[in-house]
Amino acid sequence: MLSLFIMRFFLLKIRLKNPFRTLNCNQFIFIELSIVFLVAFHTVMVFWSIIYNDSNDMFILYDGQSYDSQNSTEKAKVIDSSNLSKMFDRKINKPDKKIEMNDVLFYSPEYIGEIKLVGVIEHSAPSESIAILEVKGKQTTHLTRENINYEDIVIVKIFTDRVIIKRNGKYYSLIIN
């Protein structure tokens, strides 16, 4: 190895006589030093792994199943059986507070339609409160869980300033105008 460097040194002196080749010589030295460094680095890493018995196992993407078919259900089974979750771990933080149904109901979107909330008569028992609704110009009174004949709407809960209704499985708010 020493003889190689001595030989390169003499070749370098010959090349340096021409000033137009200095840039090429510097590039040649840089490439040569990079190769020497990489060989030394990999040699050290091999000895390091032998001495400390480091083993880098290959990551197994799936449990040995393979399908040649183009059937999408079989492809889905392969994807479901994959162990990719080990590679891409996600930490999902569970919420500290449990979301209550009252929060979902209270923050439901406003209902836009023929039904308008005129007023609320509040009772000490929330299930006994009365909502005064206006449907097509007529005012009617309704209790909680009572079905309004217009468009199969059910009153879910009555608050002091709003009424929550359920229409087609979705919750809406009627707000006093």
pLDDT at 87: 53
Residue 116 lies in a domain: yes
Give the domain range for residue 134.
Answer: 101-175
148 forms beta bridges with: 153
pLDDT at 93: 47
CATH number at residue 129: 2.30.30.830
**58-61, long-range: CB within 8 Å, 24+ apart, which pairs?**
59/83, 59/86, 59/87
Number of folded domains that form the chain = 2
Q: Which helix (H) or strand (E) holds 117?
A: strand 115-121
Q: In the structure, what pLDDT confidence band is assigned to residue 72 with cuts at 50, 70 and 90?
A: low
Q: How far apart are CA 166 and CA 154, in angstroms?
A: 5
Tens of pLDDT, residues 38-68: 999 999 888 887 887 755 555 555 555 554 4
Residue 77 lies in a domain: no
Tokens, residue 61 = 């993407």
Pairing of strands 138-142, 153-158: unpaired
Residue 34 lies in a domain: yes
Residue 171 lies in a domain: yes
Question: With contact defined as beta carbons under 8 Å apart, do 158 and 131 qualify?
Answer: yes
